[in-house]
Structure 1
Amino acid sequence: MPNTISPFLNRRLGRRLRQMREKAKLKIDPAAKQLDMSGSALQRMEAGETRANVHVVRSMMDLYDQYVPGLLD
């Protein structure tokens, strides 16, 4: 069975990532620059349009100074 994530879960994860960024009081472009990606790539990830890489999510948790148990499970 392929290791895929449903569109629903992808949007849910994206929404959670956006909430984390907003709680850290970071705008899209400054956060994206710190994560070494474009603002549009981060925006698509937060919208659930693209999959979030586990390494990027860990970098986001570090940048936003937030650890969310179970987020990557």
Structure 2
Amino acid sequence: MKEINLSEMSIKTAVRIMMEDSEYSQFQKVAEALGIRKSTFQSALDNDALRVRDLLKVADLLGYQVKIGQK
């Protein structure tokens, strides 16, 4: 299992890593699969401001699970 630590990278980088092992090669395709406008999704990624509920959807779509832990 690959672990991605969001305290060490941007959300955009984390999503890009999750996409590596999936059928999705573009952010636009992920946005379409989730029913999110591409511009809204891209803006959230660029600003490191993806909502938690959308991050959970992305992770699920790409075969990941989100774990929250204490430092």
Query: Normalising by structure 2, what TM-score?
Result: 0.62
Structure 1, gaps ≥5 residues long: 1-8
Superposition RMSD in Å: 2.4
| Cα 1:41–1:15 shift into 2, 3 Å | same
Structure with more contact order per residue of length (Cα contacts < 8 Å, sep ≥ 6): 1
* Number of equivalenced pairs: 61
| Cα 1:70–1:56 shift into 2, 3 Å | same
Q: CA deviation at 1:60?
A: 0.6
Amino acid at match of 1:36: G
Report the equivalent of 1:40: 39
Structure 2, gaps ≥5 residues long: 1-6
Amino acid at match of 1:18: R
Report the equivalent of 2:20: 22
| CA offset digits 1:24-72 (Å, max 9, x no partner) | 231222211111112222222232x15111111111111001124338x
| Cα 1:58–1:24 shift into 2, 3 Å | same
Q: More helix per residue: 1 or 2? A: 1
Query: Normalising by structure 1, what TM-score?
Result: 0.61
Runs of 4+ in 1 over 6 A off after TM superposition: none
